[in-house]
Amino acid sequence: MFLDTLEASARRVNSCLCVGLDINWLEMSAYDTDSSSLLDFAKSLVQSTSQHACVFKFNHAFFAAQGLEEQLARIIAYVKESYPDTPVILDAKRGDIGNTAERYAEEAFIRYNADAVTVNPYLGWDSVEPFLRYRDKGVILLCRTSNEDSGWIQEAGKDHPVYLMVAERVHQEENPNLLLVVGATQLEALSQVRQIAPSTTLLVPGIGAQGGDLTAVLQRARRSDGLGVIINCSRSIIAHPDTDDYFFQVAESAAEYAQLMSIQ
């Protein structure tokens, strides 16, 4: 089960840090490293952060835009072989229905062998259901995102906004492998979602480069056991274009965030 693996990993590294590997290879291949390929570069990133990350998250678009899907599959395979106790999230934000949704689920869980995938539920629950057929896998639904223009739909319904309906549905499903995405810049939403879905694990992006308040997020999103939240950091850990020792700086950044996100 995805959640069991995730929580065991968080306890092992004593942190709820999710390291987001949003690798823009056109840009990052120019960094001052000895990496001769995307695969070598990604392996070194994983090695540099592995002792601090409870989960790795790969953004599908950064690879697909450059025709690097096969390399993404190989990188995920490397993580699962070398760090089998650290789960992998495919951040693809899939949202479709019927046969198309089934193929997206197959892509995430068969082709890439990811442990979890992000899904956009705003087409209805039939856009989510094909992913739930993979019972051991995590399905992470967009709930209240941090982008400025998201409110026009996610907050629709003055007395009972749509994003809270998503949280309610996830809570009612009583499926521990269903998670919710709530942005770090949406502090009031974090509090409301935690109240409506008290046991659901939340994936929270927006710390670091996007300016989210880590202390405030932890106060609102954590459960009483110190778990129930994974906090993604991407650029603030892996984007260091001007450093002389790139992978050392990556490791230092991951260590700093992990300590701030200690679960004990």
Integer Cα distance of 6 and 19 in angstroms: 13
Helix residue ranges per DSSP H, the chain = 2-13, 25-28, 38-49, 60-64, 69-82, 98-106, 129-132, 151-154, 162-173, 187-196, 214-221, 235-238, 246-260
Integer Cα distance of 50 and 253 in angstroms: 12
What amino acid positions are annotated as catalytic residues?
93
Query: How many Cβ atoms from other residues are within 10 Å of residue 165's Cβ?
Result: 16
Three-state secondary structure readout of 3-19: HHHHHHHHHHHCCCEEE
Structural contact between residues 87 and 6, judged by C-beta atoms closer than 8 angstroms: yes
For residue 231, the cross-strand partners are: 17, 204
SS3 89: strand
For residue 15, the cross-strand partners are: none
Per-position DSSP letters for 124-144, written without gaps between them: -GGGTHHHHTSTTSEEEEEEE
Which residues touch 261 (CB under 8 Å, ≥6 apart)? 15, 16, 17, 214, 218, 231
